[in-house]
Structure 1
Amino acid sequence: MPGTFNEKFIVIPRYLPVPSRRRAGTPIQKVRFLVAHDTGNPGSTAANNIQFYINTAKTVEPAKTASAHLFVDDKEILECVPALTASAEKAFHVLKKVTKDNELYGINANDGAIGVEYCYGGAINADKAYEKFVWTLAKLCFVYNLNPAKDIVGHFFLDPARKTDPVTGLARSRRTYEQLLRDVAAEFETCTGNAPAGPTTTAQTGSVTVTVKLNLRKAPNTRAAIVQVVPAGTVLQFTATIPDGEPVNNNPLWYQDTHGNYFWSGGVK
């Protein structure tokens, strides 16, 4: 991405052994999105987590293999699989058999996403850790020409049956996932001087009928908070169309209703 980015913090490389079960050394051909994680281990620092990965890199059971690119706490931003300090390599941070990543971005997260782990709890200063976490996500968006409004997703959203991160870690730090997304977009603008491109809204009025139970959301994407769930058969009035909202089943068209909420066009006729 052209331009400059405010280098408020330093990213320190502390690489895992390669080749190993936690780091294969396989390049990512193109970074498509970011996955926000938390460690799930309150009080464990970035250095603690990476040292555990290093100690078990060659001995971890294949079925339990996991890794991430970066760990962030209040003191350090450490990179154990290259993403910012060298050309991006694949890490094993999302269960391969989940399909939501493919639906949203057209690729498996381990093949096309950078995983960033938020460290929290214990003696970790939540405000300082959160500041670094937000900056790291914004920095990655800058480096890989990603839109922070669209190209960041929480692990819980990809694997809701098993995972709650980073919601759990953020809650321990008095923040929400929705706030994280807003703060990353704001940090991106602050550090680049450019606001991320938002969805296009075209004024248009009309009405549609809901064909299946449908979520009304605060923004034209499935990560936005649900305002209301409406049943099939409901007639909804709309005041605008959004042709470049989040694609769902490769359909990016959303509507905005008379209350300023959004719904996906695939659930109406």
Structure 2
Amino acid sequence: MRGARTRRRRNPRFAALCLLLIFAAVGAAVWLWAGRGLPGEGVEVPDYVQADLLTVNPWSRPGTPLEKIDGIVIHYVGNPGTTAKANRNYFESLSSGETETYASSHFIVGLEGEVIQCIPLTEIAYASNIRNEDTVAIEVCHPDETGAFSPAAYQQVVELTAWLCRTFDLDPDTDVIRHYDVTEKLCPLYYVEHPDAWDAFRADVAAEMERQTEVS
């Protein structure tokens, strides 16, 4: 019939080969992704960090992989005069589910500069709302209701933040943020109410990064 199209026969071998190539490409992509591992995998924390990990539970340590680290979020504990250990134990107590509260942090810096690690760097913490999935959280103890960090705590959180920035190739000017910058919660209180102090903190982190680079 005039104008009719001649149907071409498909080669089943060619179609099978195409499918095989597609499956191979997808498999290779998955293999490459899996081979990359998590950004915090195999990272050894500094000697001044004491690991006291929370038990895996739905409320404070869900065990969800932290697949990327794009920032560091600074918090304050909100309980004047409490220790790093007391705040770590509070996070652990949430595992019972009685209060139905979700909360935790990767690190807690104490009044005397002690540092407790609660969550591995390969897992998320329940600290920074929509930024839980791509940030490391640091809670800092403070001596009074102003929320200002003690000198020892301040120096240690500067050192810890600088180490994290160097380890994960982060810029303190853009990648170190306050909880306030995520949700507008007044946390860490003193550094929300005193933006100049926050700017000075990030400048101190940058200076500490240079110092660590020089001595490494």
Length-normalised TM-score, structure 2: 0.70
Corresponding pairs, count: 167
For residues 191 and 174 of structure 2, the distance between their equivalents in structure 1, rounded to whole angstroms, comes to 21
For residues 70 and 166 of structure 1, the distance between their equivalents in structure 2, rounded to whole angstroms, comes to 15
Q: Can you list the C-alpha shifts for 1:96-151, whole angstroms capped at 9, x where unaligned? A: xxxxxxxxxxxx311110110111115x9811111001111111111212122221
- Bigger relative contact order, structure 1 or 2, given CA contacts below 8 A and separation 6+? 2
* 8 A contact 1:167–1:176 mirrored in 2: no
- Structure 1 residues 1-269: aligned runs within 5 Å: 10-62=48-100, 64-73=101-110, 74-83=112-121, 88-95=122-129, 108-121=130-143, 126-160=150-184, 163-168=185-190, 176-193=197-214
* 8 A contact 2:141–2:149 mirrored in 1: no
Structure with higher strand content: 1
1:218 corresponds to which residue? Answer: none
Letter in 2 for 1:111: E
Query: 5+ residue gaps in structure 1?
Result: 2-6, 96-107, 195-269
Letter in 1 for 2:126: F
For residues 75 and 193 of structure 1, the distance between their equivalents in structure 2, rounded to whole angstroms, comes to 23
* 8 A contact 2:60–2:91 mirrored in 1: yes
* 8 A contact 1:36–1:115 mirrored in 2: yes
Secondary structure of the residue aligned to 1:176 is helix
* 8 A contact 1:36–1:154 mirrored in 2: yes
Structure 1 residues 19, 8: CA separation in 2 closer, same or farther (over 3 Å shift)?
closer
2:21 corresponds to which residue? Answer: none
* 8 A contact 2:191–2:198 mirrored in 1: no
| Superposition misfits of 4+ residues, deviation over 3 angstroms | 169-172
1:256 corresponds to which residue? Answer: none
Structure 1 residues 148, 193: CA separation in 2 closer, same or farther (over 3 Å shift)?
farther
Structure 1 residues 130, 9: CA separation in 2 closer, same or farther (over 3 Å shift)?
farther
Q: Can you list the C-alpha shifts for 1:58-114, whole angstroms capped at 9, x where unaligned? A: 22433x31111100022411010112xxxx20111123xxxxxxxxxxxx3111101
Length-normalised TM-score, structure 1: 0.57
For residues 148 and 177 of structure 1, the distance between their equivalents in structure 2, rounded to whole angstroms, comes to 11
Structure with higher helix content: 2
Letter in 1 for 2:170: L
Letter in 2 for 1:49: N
Query: 5+ residue gaps in structure 2?
Result: 1-38, 40-44
Secondary structure of the residue aligned to 2:80 is coil
For residues 39 and 33 of structure 1, the distance between their equivalents in structure 2, rounded to whole angstroms, comes to 19
